[in-house]
Chains A and B, each alone.
Chain A
């Protein structure tokens, strides 16, 4: 035990091994150089800028918390905030149960079909988001979209006239559907990995006791993955806070503010309106919210048995 803690502890106690110290310093220097330049400094700078009136033209005036005050009166930001939370809510409510059902069935029933299927579900997850957005637009597009074409081929007029991307009441759900298509692969493979860690004997014992597949899923597997499910829920929330590519590429946040996310408001404020101060305040909001959820995850992690 003692030997494994530090393989290269200084051989002669009492004499400081300067070579060892120099080696350690040289090894961690490159990583810290990158992090300092592209992460630590920008974080501090974001906080500072969020207190300034600052535009792309240059010039900074300290205005205290006015950026934040204005944000909470800005319909676009509020739309982004509420979309992020309803996005997270529906992800947890729809994607996670779906992922659990798929992961359970794939691990519970081993046959010729379920083997290759394991590879399929994650495939949509690996696509570049620009391609996913294109496929989404193509399926839900108004004129030549697949749904519209099929609907007109079968003469289903009401379906053909649905404007999946242009109707503000529907656009959010269209983007959400495409996201479910691409993002559910991750919880599936994650849950599968966790379910496979459950010892075989437990299943054998359950079968000897006459447990049905449903009983086994609900009474044994579900409790066993309750902690991974909570982690996945946190990842969904943090992912929603960061959401940008899909809604931006599919609808640019529109029509109006119908599919705006926090990521898109930040982009619009920072790189369309050139309001650096306001955009930085949005960055701080994203950071604080994701930090809060991540800390919650770690406190669960600490409580997890074993």
Chain B
């Protein structure tokens, strides 16, 4: 009741200012949205239609551009490679981060605190700095031009952040359950896998989601590690197409862009609350 009183009072008081601010906010939001919606204007046109009348309404809704993007731009193959990179990245970064985060949260000692800071240092290392050694190593280890050569270092760069998040998540869990399990005779590993890890499911889902989006969107590391066109990820395909045709082949390009942006945008629209909270996690904690 107090709240509703507050807001009607507020509305009277800030009426003009509020309308003004809202109009500005909507205008800014349009600046964000319009470029995102532009590809839809071209994606249903043929190349000829686009060349003669780029801004007109399409004569027919033809979906051939999507098919062409998938086959000619080879997004289909890129999709397979990207998916492997995403899965590899998730599988290689989540388990080490969960295990280490758990130990750093629940087995605290001077040694584990020190090791935690050693992990944390990794969070502040710019990827750019280590590109040359990573590239040389991948050649030496026979991992150059393989998808593992891409997702293994990618996972390593994710581990510090997610160790931090898992640590603070496990710290927020009460110890009673784990102690009860210990009294029932469960060992360290059983307590973790049967009791604590299932309780950390929200952190795990969030980590999987954000690691997926990161791996899906990656450009720089993929550019360095993958030279073989057969192994190009979707983002590399899109960038390659952009470099060779610019925006002259807009309809097909728009289709390629829409396909390769779709998963991140859809995941964001479905889980924006989580995604934003997770992204802020590192910055807001402690």
Contact A27 B239 (CB under 8 A): no
Offer 30 A-B interface pairs, CB within 8 angstroms, sorted by A.
Answer: A8-B182, A19-B188, A27-B102, A27-B192, A28-B99, A34-B159, A37-B156, A38-B130, A38-B152, A39-B122, A39-B130, A41-B137, A43-B125, A105-B25, A109-B21, A117-B26, A126-B268, A127-B217, A127-B264, A130-B217, A130-B239, A133-B239, A135-B257, A186-B279, A189-B279, A190-B283, A193-B280, A270-B132, A271-B135, A290-B124
Contact B106 A181 (CB under 8 A): no
Contact A283 B268 (CB under 8 A): no
Q: Whole-angstrom distance between the alpha carbons of A141 and B249 in the complex?
A: 13
B residues in contact with A153, CB < 8 Å = 55
**Minimum CB–CB distance for A141 against chain B, Å:** 5
Chain B contact residues, CB within 8 Å of chain A = 6-7, 9-10, 13-14, 17-18, 21-22, 24-26, 28-29, 31-33, 35-36, 38-39, 54-55, 92-93, 95-97, 99-100, 102-104, 106-109, 112, 115, 118-119, 122, 124-137, 152-153, 155-157, 159-160, 163, 175, 178-179, 182, 187-189, 192, 213, 216-217, 219-220, 224, 235-236, 238-239, 242, 246-248, 250, 253, 257, 260-261, 264-265, 268-269, 272, 275-276, 279-280, 283-284
Chain A contact residues, CB within 8 Å of chain B = 3-8, 19-20, 23-24, 26-28, 30-35, 37-39, 41-43, 45-46, 49, 102, 105-106, 108-111, 113-114, 117, 119-124, 126-131, 133-135, 137-139, 141, 143-146, 149, 153, 181, 185-186, 189-190, 193-194, 204, 207, 213, 231, 235, 238, 241-242, 244-245, 248-249, 262-263, 266-267, 270-271, 276, 279-280, 283-284, 286-287, 290-291, 294
With a 10 A CB-CB cut-off, give which of A34, A110, A291 has the most chain B CB atoms.
A34
Contact B55 A149 (CB under 8 A): yes
Closest-by-CB residue of A relative to B102 is A27
B residues in contact with A291, CB < 8 Å = 124
B residues in contact with A146, CB < 8 Å = 38
Contact B235 A244 (CB under 8 A): no
Q: Whole-angstrom distance between the alpha carbons of A288 and B225 in the complex?
A: 25
A residues in contact with B18, CB < 8 Å = 109, 111
**Minimum CB–CB distance for B48 against chain A, Å:** 14
Q: Whole-angstrom distance between the alpha carbons of A158 and B57 in the complex?
A: 28
**Minimum CB–CB distance for A184 against chain B, Å:** 9
For the A-B complex, the count of residue pairs with Cβ-Cβ distances under 8 Å equals: 281
Q: Whole-angstrom distance between the alpha carbons of A127 and B36 in the complex?
A: 10
Q: Whole-angstrom distance between the alpha carbons of A194 and B283 in the complex?
A: 11
A residues in contact with B17, CB < 8 Å = 213
Q: A43-B129, A109-B14, A207-B13 are in contact. Are A126 and B264 (CB under 8 A)?
A: yes
Q: A43-B125, A120-B32, A121-B32 are in contact. Are A8 and B130 (CB under 8 A)?
A: no
A residues in contact with B14, CB < 8 Å = 109, 213
Q: Whole-angstrom distance between the alpha carbons of A204 and B3 in the complex?
A: 10
Identify 18 new A-B residue pairs, CB closer than 8 A, beyond the known A127-B264, A135-B38.
A6-B106, A7-B175, A8-B107, A23-B107, A30-B99, A32-B115, A33-B96, A43-B129, A49-B132, A114-B22, A117-B26, A120-B33, A126-B275, A134-B247, A144-B248, A244-B128, A271-B224, A286-B129
Q: A7-B175, A190-B283, A213-B14 are in contact. Are A38 and B134 (CB under 8 A)?
A: yes
